[in-house]
Structure 1
Amino acid sequence: MPKLKTHSGAKKRFKLSKNGKVIRGHANTSHLLNGHGKTPKSKRAMRGTTVTDKTNVAAIKRMLPYK
């Protein structure tokens, strides 16, 4: 059976934890962080990473076959 290719967009955006959970960053953090509609509370919340919702986990793991 041939090797599977890793999805290059997924490998830049997701990683797997030791327990197999899919870790992702928060959205809407690329620009407009200086008082243009984002509150300090929302900017603090977007700082770290979070676990991906269970409805998307199977598709993401299919895109990352060797992780």
Structure 2
Amino acid sequence: IEPHAKGSVNPLLIIDENDVQAGHAASVGQYDEEALYYLLSRGLVEADAKQILINNFMEPVLPKETV
């Protein structure tokens, strides 16, 4: 998100079966520059455009009331 941003990942797998394979993953990346440019070209300020991109990325995994 920012040049000196830090993240912490704490995997939590709650499994109630004896015969299961499970895993977890985390990813780190930069903003989609084309998407950011598009939002900026529509009049958004950079902070708002970045927040929209973050919300869009997180929406599939967070409860609706969080996003």
- How does the TM-score come out when normalised to structure 1? 0.23
Q: Higher RCO, 1 or 2 (CA under 8 Å, sep at least 6)?
A: 1
- How does the TM-score come out when normalised to structure 2? 0.23
Give the strand-richer structure, 1 or 2. 1
